[in-house]
Amino acid sequence: MNKYLPLGKLSFGLGDRFGQQGRAQLRACQLATELGAHFVPVWNKSNREHTFIGTEPASLRAEADAAVKALGWKQAYHVDADHIRLETVDRFIAPSDFFTIDVADSIGKPASAADVKSFVERHPELAGTVSIPHIEQPFAITRAEVERVANKFLLATQDAGKIYQHIVKAKGAANFITEVSMDETDSPQTPPELLIILAAIADQKIPIQTIAPKFTGRFNKGVDYVGDLKQFEKEFNDDLAVIAFAIKKYGLPPSLKLSVHSGSDKFSIYEPMRRALKKFDAGVHIKTAGTTWLEELIGLAEAGGDGLEIAKEIYAYAMDHVDEFCAPYASVIDIDKKQLPSAVVVNGWKSKQFTDALRHDQKNPAYNPSFRQLLHVSFKVAAKKGERYLNALKKHEAIVAKNVTENLFERHMKPLLLGK
């Protein structure tokens, strides 16, 4: 296996659309460390996001370095080139040390027949009865099934290999962490599929440290998990068992772990995840992004005056463009339009009404998940406001930062670490 930059056991992906909250985010990691949970901060931003906001990947590195310096953070931290492909990776290579290779587009496209055949022949251990510690029912995988899975995923792993080698050439294998993501696809990967995928990734000599499968259930943007929690828990446990098995069987890095591309705020899966991680003594990477942008809006609304004003303007604009904004996110939002208050109504709101509707507190009867999801996908409105939005963030920095830190620490890190 190739060399690699090792990633710590618990890591937390932090997205920061406008690049202003690095310190407030890192503060949450400091608070978690004080409780004994060493979350390695990983700042992530996808190519798509850079394009929407008009930023360069180097800006994320600058933000991370500045936050680390300002807070005196002595431990590891990373900068993730999130969801990159061969055509988009180049501008990320110098500033990033974590690469999320997105091969979802290649899933379902068959590799060459000869490659599929040789994969199946090279891996007789995958066919038949495969007993994996901590999975009650051994996998019964026929040779035809191995072939089917190879036809679906082998090309994706070959693509991952090409992108990985491209980064190695430019950067040196020991200088980065590799994640492979398969979450942005139609159907979840089952644990037996995950095993076959990991065998194929090992064949590509990719020292993969995080893998992001698509899990069962809906991972809507910025709101809680929707799906069968029991099924999720079983799948998550079985995935952990498969990973532990594959590390030994295929010589993958011992630090290999699941990466949960959460779409932010999947609070109800944190408890089953915590139980499973404890059982397997496993690590995890949780990727979040938009949750911090929503905390910016909450902070601005809470500040009142011109802060509340700009939050209302963003909502009014979003309401005017609701179909246009929602269309690209159709598979990851569930907005009930009847629950969206009109811009006229919102314009009459006080700070507390706005923050109660937006803040992700499911115990608050005024919390409105449709309102929250619409604002989640409307960050381009703030981007269009440019300096005016950034100046509002600077002016109300203290109250915004408090919301950003509290959200990550109280609602994400503490439940994952302590179960509360």
Contact range with Zn ion by CB under 5 A, out of 116-124, 145-153, 259-267, 355-363: 259-267
- The nearer residue to Zn ion, 185 or 405, going by C-beta atoms, is 185
Min. distance of Cβ 289 from Zn ion in angstroms?
Answer: 9
- The nearer residue to Zn ion, 152 or 221, going by C-beta atoms, is 221
Min. distance of Cβ 203 from Zn ion in angstroms?
Answer: 24
Task: Show the site string, 168-187: x = touches Zn ion by CB under 5 A, - = not.
Answer: ---------------x----
- Taking Cα atoms as reference points, which of 231, 207, 203 lies closest to residue 217? 231
Contact call for residues 124 and 47 (beta carbons, < 8 A): no
Contact call for residues 157 and 203 (beta carbons, < 8 A): yes
The answer to whether residue 261 forms part of the interface with Zn ion (CB under 5 A) is yes
- The nearer residue to Zn ion, 261 or 376, going by C-beta atoms, is 261
DSSP state of 349: -
Min. distance of Cβ 180 from Zn ion in angstroms?
Answer: 11
- The nearer residue to Zn ion, 173 or 180, going by C-beta atoms, is 180
Contact call for residues 377 and 221 (beta carbons, < 8 A): yes
Neighbours of 210 (CB within 10 A): 27
Min. distance of Cβ 212 from Zn ion in angstroms?
Answer: 6
Min. distance of Cβ 184 from Zn ion in angstroms?
Answer: 6
How do 284-287 and 10-15 pair as beta strands?
parallel
Min. distance of Cβ 82 from Zn ion in angstroms?
Answer: 7
- Number of residues near Zn ion (by CB under 5 A): 2
- The nearer residue to Zn ion, 183 or 238, going by C-beta atoms, is 183
Phi, psi of 312 (to 5 degrees): -65, -40
- The nearer residue to Zn ion, 102 or 295, going by C-beta atoms, is 102
Run of H or E residues at 84 = strand 78-84
Which residue in the block uniquely carries the two structure tokens 């990320």?
A: 92
List all residues 6 or more positions away from 214 whose beta carbon is below 8 Å from its beta carbon. 182, 183, 184, 185, 187, 188, 189
Residue of closest CB approach to Zn ion: 261
Min. distance of Cβ 89 from Zn ion in angstroms?
Answer: 16
List all residues 6 or more positions away from 174 whose beta carbon is below 8 Å from its beta carbon. 3, 4, 5
Q: What is the DSSP string of 389-420?
A: HHHHHHHTHHHHHHHHHHIIIIIIIHHHHH--
- The nearer residue to Zn ion, 17 or 261, going by C-beta atoms, is 261
Subset of 112-171 contacting Zn ion (CB under 5 A):
none
Interacting residues toward Zn ion by CB under 5 A: 183, 261
